[in-house]
Amino acid sequence: MTSAWPNLSELLVAADAAAPVGLVGAPLGVGSVTPGRCDLAPAALRAVLRRIGRYDLDTERELATLVADRGDVVLGGSIEAATGPLRAAVAASVGAHALTLLIGGNNAVTRPGLLGMAEALGLPLERCGLITLDAHFDLRGLDQGLSNGNPVRALLGDGLPGANIVQIGLAPFANSRAMHEDAVAGGHLVITARAVREQGIGEAIDRALDRLEGVEAIFLDCDIDVIERSQFPAAPGARPGGMDVHLFFAGVRRLAAEPRVRAIDLTEWDPPLDPGDLSSLVAGRWLAEVLAGFERRA
């Protein structure tokens, strides 16, 4: 029987149910450059889903893809301690579902997420790609250990080729010259927030997928601070002049439609920073866009 308000919460099912999409909560808050409560985001996302409808007026389609909620990973007291459990949880989900959603938590979850994807598929990192929708390069140094500011640097150290990395939405006055130079020298495809505004998100995604034509699996990192801060106040790293939210939604939908995208994370959402509900509604809409894109794969 159809409810009076068909909404995304109805698509969440038990972890043992057959579902094409799996959801893994990664409440990781330690190791953040800017301390906060990103660990609260998985619960906040589940709570807002009842407010997000399933009917897409633009395409006249109603979302129907079931999402197996695999619960939150129990994490240790450091990023290093959390890496193993997160990697194992993502590997288990990727092995069971066509698409896995990893809900952070801070951006440090990206590294174990990609490593878990590669493990589940039996792929060397040379056959994997990373696309980041992020205002930052995440190339801080590793001399002080792992943090949410260096998952890309850590993945390079693991053996992910720089040529397999595409970074979209990078913001001015939010990165260092050294990081930019390292990204370019390493062979990353760098697409700034300004380039997205001027050339369109479609062009950026076309370039990203062309660059990664030779890889077999792609991990998509959606660091929510890529969005213009006034449109997502609960991202501590967001800045004025970021990507407009409608471009972010369009990019997410397009990339979720790509069959080689096997895992997508959502990171750097700190719910207490937004006393209103704008940020939570944007995060809920992100899930709707992911599912809308996924349903285009058929």
Domain locations in the chain as residue ranges: 8-294
Structure tokens at 190: 């760098």
Q: Is 126 left (phi over 0), alpha (psi -120 to 50) or beta?
A: alpha
In which residue are the tokens 């150290």 written?
157
CA distance 12 to 45: 12
**pLDDT at residue 138, as a whole number:** 96
Residue 152 exposure: Cα atoms within 13 Å on the Cβ side: 28
Q: How far apart are CA 28 and CA 35, in angstroms?
A: 11
16: Cβ contacts below 8 Å, ≥ 6 apart = 68
Check residue 2 and give its pLDDT. 55
Of 156, 28, 133, 140, residue with least CA distance to 84: 28
With helix as H, strand as E and coil as C, how does 191-212 read? EEHHHHHHHCHHHHHHHHHHHC
Tell me how far apart the alpha carbons of residues 242 and 251 are, in angstroms, rounded to a whole number: 14
Reading the chain (298 residues) residue by residue, the pLDDT tens digits are 457 889 999 999 999 889 999 999 999 999 888 889 999 999 999 999 999 999 999 999 999 999 999 999 999 889 999 999 999 999 999 999 999 999 999 999 999 999 999 999 999 999 999 999 999 999 999 999 999 999 999 999 999 999 999 999 999 999 999 999 999 999 999 999 999 999 999 999 999 999 999 999 999 999 999 999 999 999 999 999 999 999 999 999 999 999 999 999 999 999 999 988 999 999 999 999 999 999 999 7
- Tell me which fold the domain 8-294 belongs to: Arginase; Chain A (3.40.800)
Let me know: does 181 contact 143? Beta carbons within 8 Å: no
Which helix (DSSP H) or strand (DSSP E) does residue 104 occupy? strand 99-104
Residue 32 zone, left/alpha/beta (φ > 0; ψ -120 to 50; rest): beta
pTM: 0.97
Contacts of 214 (CB under 8 A, 6+ apart): none
Q: Which of 243, 242, 200, 227 is nearest to 281 (CA)?
A: 227
Question: Encoding tokens for residue 273?
Answer: 């920073």
What DSSP designation does 120 have? H
Token pair, residue 62, equals 């109603």
Give the model's pLDDT for residue 1.
43
The pairing of beta strand 165-170 with beta strand 189-192:
parallel
